[in-house]
Structure 1
Amino acid sequence: MTTIIDGNSVAEEIQAGVEDCVETLSAADETPGLATVLMSDDGASATYVSMKQRTCEELGINSFHHEIDPEAPAEELFSKIDELNDDPDVHGILVQMPVPDHVDKRTVLNRIDPMKDVDGFHPENVGRLVAGNARYKPCTPHGVQKILDAYDIETEGADAVVVGRSDIVGKPMANLLIQRDDGGNATTTVCHSRTKDLAAKTRNADLVVVAAGVPEMVDGDMIGEGATVIDVGINRVDADTEKGYELIGDVDFESAKQKAGAITPVPGGVGPLTIAMLMYNTAKAASLQSGVEIDLP
């Protein structure tokens, strides 16, 4: 019988542990602070930011939000990042992507103080992750690890396939799975748009993590019997609903769940973990910057 993974329950447990850490920090006069910066008119980006702000409030984390006109010069965003880098009340900085075309994304990531880079995308933090000495693990891949641990899904010795090679999910996910560490030790293959016979790769995997941004690109015929399927995708498609759309993943859930031993739904699977791990990284950042020890979940 297929296990439908409940990402909300895993996220709630992690957030409860983070809340305890926030209380420890606050008792030492070091309340964690997360700054979000939005330079976009995109409604989805604004929604993501508001969700992060709301979770901060629930856990006792100070939230500082800044909006910049998408038509403003790139230097206005860079100046704001510099200001937040120097603010002792801000332990974590998150610039919501995407940024406008006239703003260079890599310059944005490089500008953030790596100690405050709670997304884990600064080159220094990427290098530490690859070297096996991560300061902050990127939120979504780390959340996937937490899901696998919560459901006792063993990665050691497993054949894993990651579909997608983005800097945000695909690459760090593969790096975490091959680490000589808990939640790693998997034999990992990274597939992408140029992969020949993708189905042959996924069908032989014990674990398939799909993060390609293509609605329902992986279906049940591409899944081996009893495999674990982690669907990171979230796609808005037109539908005859009250909102006029529905959210679906990169996996055809109905057909895949007939073959999978365990599978994440969309929504309610990986998504809640992304915000939970952002809170985790913010608490960790406050601990590292203050020297106050905490016991992270």
Structure 2
Amino acid sequence: MSALLLDGKALAARIQAELTHEVRSLQERFPRPPGLAVLWVGDNPASAAYVGNKNRSGAGVGIDISKGQHLPATLSEAELLAIVDELNADASVDGILVQLPLPEQIDSNRILDRIDPDKDVDGLHPTNLGRLVRGEPGLRSCTPAGVMRLLAEAGIDLAGKTAVVLGRSILVGKPVALMLLEKNATVIMAHSRTRDLAALTRSADVVVAAVGKPGLVDGAMIKPGAVVIDVGINRITDAAGKSRLVGDVDFASVREVASAITPVPGGVGPMTVTMLLANTVQSYRRRVGS
């Protein structure tokens, strides 16, 4: 058996095309486009790539990205808080995203907590996480929301299924577990202190791997016919000195056992940026009264 490939790149392109059409339609009724401000502090090369991708994608669907800023690594926490305050008060900005990690002199939680929850398009503010816990409408964390959209588009019914989530971060593990619960899955969370991880994963109908360990999950750990979502993005260097991106799942062996699987790259990654854009448009609609 060779698993169905859950193509996040293709789905992301389709959703972005739909967002482009929606933004154009809204522009006929409202005087300004959606506004997204991405704040990047320092010169982390990975952050540069992520911010560039977000800005290009945002501009591509018609979102105004002009309020974003690239700030020096020496920036103080007080200065960054002041910038966030300005963006909170700016009526032309619907979404604010602070690219992580931040320099060591800045407390990330203090910055994230300062963002207006209704402009928190990364879905990381305590208010939005609380709304998720309570099952209330709100801006959802982008990567977990992308995972759920992939599952929905593939027609995978989660009700009554056993889902094992590997990883308990606030970015992916915890919110995706809550989203799976919303869909009536029975959710088990595993982490670095979990005993006999393989026994857990072999019991699962759905496995979501988000721990940042290349090839952690192999085919022997998967129940035949299970759905496997690989959130990991790890850069490795082979014997020839060439680097490449791999996930937390050993794709070749798992694909022969699972019924559906996401590739790395091209699976969850493109969906993360797309859900950020969807959150920005959602915030815009709310703010202009659409």
SS at match of 1:194: coil
SS at match of 2:208: strand
What corresponds to 2:253 in structure 1? 255
| CA deviation map 1:240-262 (0-9, x unaligned) | 678x3100001111111111111
What corresponds to 2:170 in structure 1? 167
2:151 to 142, 148, 152: 148
Given that 1:30 and 1:290 are in contact with CA atoms closer than 8 Å, whether structure 2 keeps it comes out as no
Aligned-partner residue type, residue 252 of structure 1: D
| CA deviation map 1:166-198 (0-9, x unaligned) | 00100000000001xxxx110000111111111
Q: Distance in 2 between matches of 1:101 and 1:165?
A: 23
Aligned-partner residue type, residue 223 of structure 2: G
Whether 1:268 aligns to 2:271 is: no
Aligned-partner residue type, residue 111 of structure 1: R
Sequence identity, in percent?
47
SS at match of 2:217: coil
Whether 1:102 aligns to 2:95 is: no
What corresponds to 2:233 in structure 1? 234
Whether 1:19 aligns to 2:20 is: yes
Q: Distance in 1 between matches of 2:274 and 2:239?
A: 31
1:58-207 alignment runs, 5 A limit = 58-64=60-66, 65-179=68-182, 184-207=183-206
RMSD: 1.2
Given that 1:227 and 1:262 are in contact with CA atoms closer than 8 Å, whether structure 2 keeps it comes out as yes
What corresponds to 2:59 in structure 1? 57
Q: Distance in 2 between matches of 1:25 and 1:196?
A: 52
Q: Distance in 1 between matches of 2:95 and 2:252?
A: 39
Whether 1:41 aligns to 2:39 is: no
Query: Residues 291 and 218 of structure 1: is their aligned pair in 2 closer, same or farther, counting only changes over 3 Å?
Result: same
Gaps of 5+ in 2: none
Aligned-partner residue type, residue 275 of structure 1: V
Aligned-partner residue type, residue 279 of structure 1: L
| CA deviation map 1:73-127 (0-9, x unaligned) | 1111111111111111110000000011111111011110111000111111110
Normalised TM-score (structure 1):
0.94
What corresponds to 1:295 in structure 2? none
Q: Distance in 2 between matches of 1:30 and 1:145?
A: 31
The count of corresponding residues between Structure 1 and Structure 2 is 287
What corresponds to 1:221 in structure 2? 220
Deviation of the 1:12 alpha carbon? 1.5
Deviation of the 1:67 alpha carbon? 1.3
Q: Distance in 2 between matches of 1:145 and 1:97?
A: 23
Normalised TM-score (structure 2):
0.96
Q: Distance in 2 between matches of 1:285 and 1:25?
A: 13
